[in-house]
Chains A and B, each alone.
Chain A
Amino acid sequence: MTRSKSIILLLAASSGILPFQETTAHAQHQLREVVVTAQRPMKEIGVQKTTLDSAMLKENIALSMADVLTFNSSIFVKSYGRATLSTVAFRGTSPSHTQMTWNGMRINNPMLGMTDFSTIPSYFIDRATLLHGTSSVTETGGGLGGLVRLATTPDVPEGFGAQYVQGIGSFSTFDEFARFTYGNDHWQVSTRAVYSSSPNDYKYTNHDKKLNIYDDNHNIIAQFHPKERNHSGAYKDLHVLQEVYYNTLRGDRFGINAWYIHSNRELPLLTTDYGDASSFENRQREQTFRGVLSWDHTRSNWRTGVKGGYAHTWLAYDYRRELSETVWATMTRSRSTVNTVYAQAEGEYTPSRQWYFTGNVSAHQHLVKSADKDVILQDGSKDIVGYDKGRVEISASASAKWQPDERIGMSVVLREDIYGNKCAPVIPAFFIDGLLSRQGNVMLKASISRNYRFPTLNDLYFLPGGNPDLKNEHGFSYDCGATFSTGIDGVFTLDGGVTWFDSHINDWIIWLPTTKGFFSPRNMKKVHAYGIEAKANMGVQIAKNWLLELNGSFSWTPSVNDGDKMSDADMSVGKQLPYVPRRSASLTGRLSWGTWSFLYKWAHYSQRFTMSSNEDTITGHLPPYYMSNIALEKGLSLRRLDLSLKLAVNNLFNEDYLSVLSRPMPGINFEFFISITPKFL
């Protein structure tokens, strides 16, 4: 086979790459041919990535990116409850080691460093890619664990299109989604909105409490674990996304993406809280706008692109106490405002078939105002505890990729990060891959890099406790692995991969209490994280119009405190980090027949310790987590519209569990969705 010849592989099923207007109403479930050339994209030489396809992202409108990642990847999603903070961590690192971009703009909260994935509706994302470990250096610095890259695309069908989806579920949950599109050769316009609300007051048995039954003399005569509701867990989230793209058809594309979020969420009470829920209010509100303007200019052997963006986040947290009827005292009134201006320029140049060069420079100017508390001063006046800081974050990279032969490719990336007036040492990364066998398209991949993460603005400046003397976290990591893909036309497709990774992170920042009653960050830990990631995807054409798809992933991630003992009594050295599972796995299976589709999702985390000393006590660990969800969908094709009816069942086996200590989770729950897609002439 010559280089120009293509290896025909069967990698995707039709249902997985349908544009949004097409539903199971008239789906033809058969394996579809996808062309994969032996000369793979040079941009991805040695890169370890996981791509989430459209079927995963567009499963139903109630799902957040946290839900999608839980069941479709082996990275660890730590969820504090339904529609509550959910963070994501790769390869045994912490959530702040996960970088996230949306259409190129880094959207990690510059105050906290991490991202709440429960606030990102998966229906708003068209393309999601996870870049594991070293591979994140190709896009940004600071991703000691990895990078979640989210993007929207201009892929809308010709003419007008519309879709409306409504979901009605347990706990008075309502989800609404609408999308309107218009597309022609030059213009692609899309407007989408989603609104979700629920009192979220699911019932659970509170095993952390007992209620007392007293006799007339106030003696306790019996105790029992109460059935309680998830108090103070209501949410109302609105998202609107507007996109306009213009393609000159002469190599230029202009784009506008604007995303508005309005979120109002209560923070649920702990299972150990004996306060009267009606006497306390614990609420978080957020308004965020993110906008990106882009221009891409493409020529035969080079491409350049420029992006500019602006993000504004207003975040409010109120903790209030009722003193008497209608009189409330505010105990915490936190207000944070983040304004970010973003600019990026990038270029690619392919002088020959063997060489590929890229350059990229991005700048994020953050302006943060954090006001946490009003206090009465000693002179009787009032002031606010908080900080008002700005920081420019510049990241520049250059890469050279060389593929001397179709069987081997190498890539070098050099990245420089400058945050404020501090420069990190140059971040070097090296990638190599090679085609071991054309039969089965067996590829070997390896990469190695250093990486640095700057402290967040809260780490440095939060009052009280911010520590301006913090050092950068820095890490060294490498990985190596193999991937394969094979199949028989019309019968089955199979692809997968396995990767070994190993990383050392020093000066890990953790917040610890102080004797003055507040927390303060310090460079404390030295962590050694290593392990295996594996994934496999399979599609089987069982019979005509019958299709079975299976996607599985597995991670084994020892993440060990490798530092010195804090004192002789310290029992944490050599132990797994708290809330990092050693093993995680996920599996989704989709069976499609004609206009019917059945989905089964399963996720597993091994036990998570809550203590650094890995105690196997009641509060020292959380037992292994197993979760099963199913969904059944039926499509109907009518004359004027397509309908899709779907029933989703979450927590199928009605598990009574906690995901994080003292945070109750819902038992079995249901949501019914109806999707209406008009047919425009």
Chain B
Amino acid sequence: MKKGLSDRQKQTRSGYLFLIFPIIIFGIFTIFPMFFALFISFYDWNLLIPDKPFVGLANYIELFQDEVFLIATKNTIIYALGVVPVQTILSLFLAFLMNQKLPGRGFFRLAFYLPAVTASVVTSTIFIWIYSKPGLLNYLLSLAGINGTDWLTNPNTALLSIMALNVWSTSGYFMITFLAGLQNIPASVYEAAKIDGASAWTQFWKITFPLVRPVTYFVVVLSLIGCFQVFDQVFIMSQGGPVNSTTTMSFFVYINSFKYFRLGYGAASAIILAMIIYFVTVVQKRYFPPEPY
């Protein structure tokens, strides 16, 4: 029964040879860190102190008594709940407009996608200027007779401002995703609906929306995961301030790990964040599955 094994062996040898590099990189920078993160979350692991004692659940217990962590959690949830729906609806709407085969589509696509391919540091910097007291936003508001505020230093508006930036900068990416989904819907389906007498509005809700549901699912998952880990904008624009009003969980992880060098504590908060993300995606899959039919 040795027949054909030679080819099998060749495939096995080639297969592992082709995969060895990714497996090593992946092992060192993903698999190992995953377990190691859990491990150090049970230690008082300070980068500057050689002694790293086991502390059991102390880090986790401390987290739940840490007011800043609780604020960060609340901020992160507000952030995700605010950004995800707006971003999803906006990008679907943009994709719907783009799918109307109107002149200048190439240019519009470029315009909408531009923020998504631009470095976060660039968009954030531009928006610091836009949001500043004598900035563009307030100028535009003043034209409408509204008196603006200093958006990023006002604790009431800082988080909201960053959320708006996020919607603006990533909706173009999701629009492209939706657009691909829309273009997969055969024209004959719409033609059939038109013959059945469906209005544009009915067509959108009864045909387009259900048929792009798998795409919507995908977009919402990606958007959620992205929002829960938001870091760059907070780091660049507000450093968590004013008075922790923009401290998100990722920023909390960063501050504790790389500013205060409390890596064990940081790891514990990262693990709670991961658990929240996991929980949310499971809930989404359970209650809003991609294909319910």
Do A and B make up one complex? no
B interface residues with partner A (beta carbon < 8 Å): none
B-binding residues in A (CB < 8 A) = none
